[in-house]
Structure 1
Amino acid sequence: MNGILVVSATRAEAAHVPDRYETVITGIGKVDAAVAVTAALAAYPAGARPLVVNIGTAGALHDHHAGLYLPSTALNHDISSDVLKSLGHPVEDVLDIEDGDGSVLATGDAFVSDAEVRDALAARADLVDMEGFAVAYAARRMGARCRLVKHVSDHADESALDWPALVDHSARELAAWLVERY
Structure 2
Amino acid sequence: MTVIQTKRLILRDFVKADWKAVYNYASDPKVVCYMDWGPNTAEETKNFIQQAIAYQKEQPRRNYDLAVALKPKDVIVGGCSIHVSNPDNREGWIGYIFNHNFWGQGYATETAKTLLKFGFERLKLHQIFATCDPANIASAHVLEKIGMKCEGCLREHKWAKRKWRDSLLYAVLDYEWRRLTP
Give the structure-2-normalised TM-score. Answer: 0.28
- Structure 1 or 2: larger strand share? 2
